[in-house]
């Protein structure tokens, strides 16, 4: 046991995770006694890991990444009905009595950079239908967007998500022509290092469209470079990464991250 409060990020693989850098930066900036670690946890070991941490009074909780965002829902309490809404958890928080509460900070982290916009009724296009897409579509449904076009390799999965989130729209192939969407979001792994590129013709998008790529490795993805070349506004994956981490940090350590330090943190994450 560490005797200082700590949280961690669990996944398989986990070496690539930038969460320790983010939480470590905030802990140091605030001068808080605390630690944030990375834990490599395979699916087979997940239940035993959670059971052990539940009994550790120094453990404040963890962030959850691929492939555990669905499996953890069976291991924790769910007072916010995350299972019945977003359908994936990315944060577990230990209460003082050992109760574990699961939540999801991805949806709010995704939406934070868009918060000043009025998306009500706006047509949007979303690439992907995995765990990240669930958070994106949940947030877009709350924003009451209009017609939603999902581009995905597996059409049935994407159709299920439209129904789950009560969205009006359609599912098309990855190589279909884009609609004239006000917002295009890539929530797939395409464009991420080690994955195939995402090749989209952005010409159907209006000049005021926003292109948002959740992929943050690399940060300036091919999609964002193409959008910038067209003069479109862009949002990169670090905004969401920092946004979802900020909400989790407060749940773990009881303090909001320091204000006015985002540029410094972004520079650290890009180094």
- Out of 46, 100, 129, 183, the only residue in the binding site for ligand NAP (CB under 6 A) is 129
Question: Is 144 assigned a catalytic role?
Answer: no
User: Which of 5/82 has CB closer to ligand NAP?
Assistant: 82
Q: Distance (Å, rounded) from C-alpha 187 to C-alpha 185? A: 6
Q: Distance (Å, rounded) from C-alpha 17 to C-alpha 20? A: 7
43 and 12 Cβ atoms separated by less than 8 Å: yes
The CB-of-153 to ligand NAP minimum distance in angstroms stands at: 3
Q: Which of 80, 65, 47 is nearest to 130 (CA)?
A: 65
Q: Which residues inside 135-154 make contact with ligand NAP, applying CB under 6 A?
A: 152-154
Q: What is the largest CA-CA distance in the chain?
A: 57
Point out the residue whose Cβ comes nearest to ligand NAP.
Answer: 130
- The site string for ligand NAP over 86-115 (x = CB under 6 A, - otherwise) reads --------------------x--x------
Q: Which stretch binds ligand NAP (CB under 6 A): 27-35, 125-133, 161-169, 175-183?
A: 125-133
The CB-of-99 to ligand NAP minimum distance in angstroms stands at: 26
198 and 190 Cβ atoms separated by less than 8 Å: yes
- Out of 131, 169, 179, 257, the only residue in the binding site for ligand NAP (CB under 6 A) is 131
Collapsing DSSP to helix, strand or coil, 69 comes out as coil
Q: Distance (Å, rounded) from C-alpha 144 to C-alpha 119? A: 7
- Out of 9, 114, 132, 181, the only residue in the binding site for ligand NAP (CB under 6 A) is 132
Q: Which stretch binds ligand NAP (CB under 6 A): 22-30, 31-39, 115-123, 191-199?
A: 191-199
Q: Which stretch binds ligand NAP (CB under 6 A): 112-120, 137-145, 233-241, 253-261?
A: 233-241
Q: Which of 115, 159, 134, 24 is nearest to 73 (CA)?
A: 134
Helix axes 262-270, 237-253, angle to 10 degrees: 110
Q: Which of 99, 108, 127 is nearest to 191 (CA)?
A: 127
Alpha helix ranges (H) inside 76-191: 106-111, 131-142, 155-164
Q: How would you classify the pairing of strands 35-40 and 148-151?
A: unpaired
Determine, following the binding rule CB under 6 A, whether residue 218 of this chain makes contact with ligand NAP.
Answer: no
Catalytic residue among 69, 96, 144, 157: 69
- Catalytic positions are 69
The site for ligand NAP (CB under 6 A) is made up of: 66, 106, 109, 128-133, 152-154, 157, 187-190, 192, 195-196, 214-216, 237, 240-241, 244
């Amino acid at each position: 046991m560490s005797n200082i409060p700590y949280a961690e990020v669990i996944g398989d693989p986990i070496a690539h995770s930038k969460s320790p850098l983010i939480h470590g930066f905030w802990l140091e900036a605030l001068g808080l006694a605390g630690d944030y670690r990375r834990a490599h946890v395979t699916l087979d070991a997940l239940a035993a890991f959670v059971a052990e941490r539940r009994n550790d009074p120094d453990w404040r909780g963890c962030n959850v990444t691929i492939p555990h965002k669905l499996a953890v829902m069976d291991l924790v309490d769910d007072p916010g009905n995350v299972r019945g809404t977003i359908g994936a958890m990315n944060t577990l928080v230990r209460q003082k009595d050992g109760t574990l509460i699961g939540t999801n900070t991805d949806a709010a982290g995704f939406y934070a950079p868009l918060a000043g916009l009025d998306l009500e009724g706006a047509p949007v296009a979303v690439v992907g239908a995995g765990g990240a897409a669930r958070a994106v579509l949940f947030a877009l449904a709350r924003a009451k967007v209009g017609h939603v076009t999902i581009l995905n390799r597996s059409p049935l999965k994407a159709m299920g998500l439209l129904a789950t989130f009560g969205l009006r729209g359609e599912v098309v192939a990855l190589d279909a022509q884009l609609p004239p969407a006000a917002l295009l979001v890539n929530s797939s792994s395409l464009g991420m290092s080690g994955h195939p590129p995402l090749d989209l013709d952005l010409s159907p998008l209006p000049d005021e469209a926003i292109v948002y790529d959740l992929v943050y490795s690399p940060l300036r993805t091919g999609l964002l470079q193409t959008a910038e070349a067209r003069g479109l506004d862009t949002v990169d994956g670090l905004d969401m990464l920092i946004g979802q981490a900020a909400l989790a940090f407060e749940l773990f350590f009881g303090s909001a991250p320091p204000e006015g330090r985002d540029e410094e943190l972004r520079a650290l994450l890009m180094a």
